[in-house]
Amino acid sequence: MTGSELTPETLVVSAGRPPIADDAGVNVSISLNATRHAGGPVGYGRYGNENWSALETAISSLEGGKTLVFSSGMAAISAVFSLLPTGSVISASHHGYSGVMTLLKNLDAMGRIDVRFVNVTNTQEVLEALPGTSLLWLESPTNPMLDVADLPKLISSAKKAGIGVGVDNTFATPLNQNPLSMGADIVMHSVTKFISGHSDILMGSLSTNDEALFSRLEEARKFNGAIPGPFESWLALRGLRTLGVRLERGQSNALELAKRLSAHPGVSRVHYPGLPTDPHHNLAKSFMKGFGAVLSFELHGGAQQADTLCSSSLLIANATSLGGVETLWERRRRWSGESASVPESLIRVSVGCENIDDLWSDIERAFKNAG
Ligand SMILES: *Cc1c(COP(=O)(O)O)cnc(C)c1O
């Protein structure tokens, strides 16, 4: 069977393995080589590595195109922005990953890039910001509000206008939506999150169908130098092998928690596109295969109560980040980089693979403690 006949749930298991041969390993071995004998296509450790290639092949089998892996998600995004001529306009989501928000604000303040922040859930507002834009940088579902942008519409409108489109697909994962197939130029992942899945490494990836763009991004990786380690790449691929089962469990746990939280007297609002009552549910359902394993909720109480709640759990860790097998929660506004339009009491939950009743008991106990 060739790769294209296989489903994504199988590809996460099967893609990026060594060719079959007598006694060949079933996994690519960790290749620790800073230099190589002359004459081959790689030559030096900043130009290529067997463990990057295996992971890149696996991500490409899911997202399409050709993939480059980087030392972090931010390194991958920085490589994209580094290609833009000085003075270019980037239109980007005003609710997005806080590191990207800060990077964009800094590039704008330096005069490097002109940034237009837009509400990506307001399709009209995004379309109006497009004239003069060089790059539309989208994130959906958004962090931490779990808003959903009309990706098919936004991507096709921007492409019709000749504008570059990049999509941060970290929250959705390649199993829930594939922006390249909607016409985007670049899909980016923080491999740190769901793809690697165990909160033990940082990595990022970019995939594109455009050969010329791929070459420019590869040059950026080579010469800006934000390369991942071979061991991290090996771990990321090891983690990817279980993405299908991890996501299935994480998503079903997330939906159940979203339902139970919605009925909890201390909760004023739950944000999860998988909830049939969520304002983004129908749009999400129209192009997403699943709704992901991240949700957020607001409390009737304020920031203080949210902080007490997050620090009262015994099983769920009060920690940032997402996409690991373990459930994490945190009050987002504890970060100074978080958008002021995010409610003070908003708690983001990255839902892991634990037993749902153990998670719920922990949440109920934390609520009792937080009053
Ligand atoms: C974590 C994250 C990033 C940044 O990735 P790092 O691997 O931490 O550099 C970018 N976008 C989203 C949506 C993220 O969750």
- Walk along the chain (371 residues) in steps of 10 and give the mean pLDDT of each run: 79 98 97 97 97 98 98 98 98 90 96 96 96 97 96 98 98 98 98 98 98 98 98 98 98 98 98 98 98 98 96 97 98 89 96 98 96 80
Helix 230-240 vs helix 50-63: angle between axes, to the nearest 10 degrees? Answer: 30
DSSP code string of 240-309: HTTHHHHHHHHHHHHHHHHHHHHT-TTEEEEE-TTSTTSTTHHHHHHH-S---SEEEEEESS-HHHHHHH
Token pair belonging to 306: 């949210």
Position 141: which residue type? P
What domains appear along the chain, each with residue ranges and CATH number?
Answer: 3-240 (3.40.640.10), 243-370 (3.90.1150.10)
The CA 261 to ligand 1 mean position distance, Å, reads 26
Closest CA to 75 of 202, 165, 195: 202
Q: 3-state SS of the chain: helix, strand, coil percent to 5?
A: 40, 15, 45
What is the structure's pLDDT at 336?
85
What is the structure's pLDDT at 3?
55
Q: Examine the residue annotation and report whether 200 is marked as an active-site residue of this protein.
A: no
How many other β-carbons are positioned within 10 Å of the β-carbon of residue 131? 9
Q: Is the CB of residue 168 below 6 angstroms from any atom belonging to ligand 1?
A: yes
Position 222: which residue type? K
Q: Examine the residue annotation and report whether 44 is marked as an active-site residue of this protein.
A: no
- How far apart are the C-alpha atoms of 4 and 280, rounded to whole Å? 31
123: left (phi over 0), alpha (psi -120 to 50) or beta: alpha
Q: Examine the residue annotation and report whether 193 is marked as an active-site residue of this protein.
A: yes
- How far apart are the C-alpha atoms of 246 and 293, rounded to whole Å? 9
pTM reported for the whole predicted model: 0.97
What is the structure's pLDDT at 96?
86
Q: Is the CB of residue 348 below 6 angstroms from any atom belonging to ligand 1?
A: no
Whose alpha carbon is nearest atom 8 of ligand 1? 73
Question: How far is residue 122 CA from its own chain's centroid?
Answer: 21
Q: Examine the residue annotation and report whether 147 is marked as an active-site residue of this protein.
A: no
DSSP for residue 49 = -
What is the structure's pLDDT at 95?
84
What is the structure's pLDDT at 331?
98
What is the structure's pLDDT at 338?
84
The CA 334 to ligand 1 mean position distance, Å, reads 17
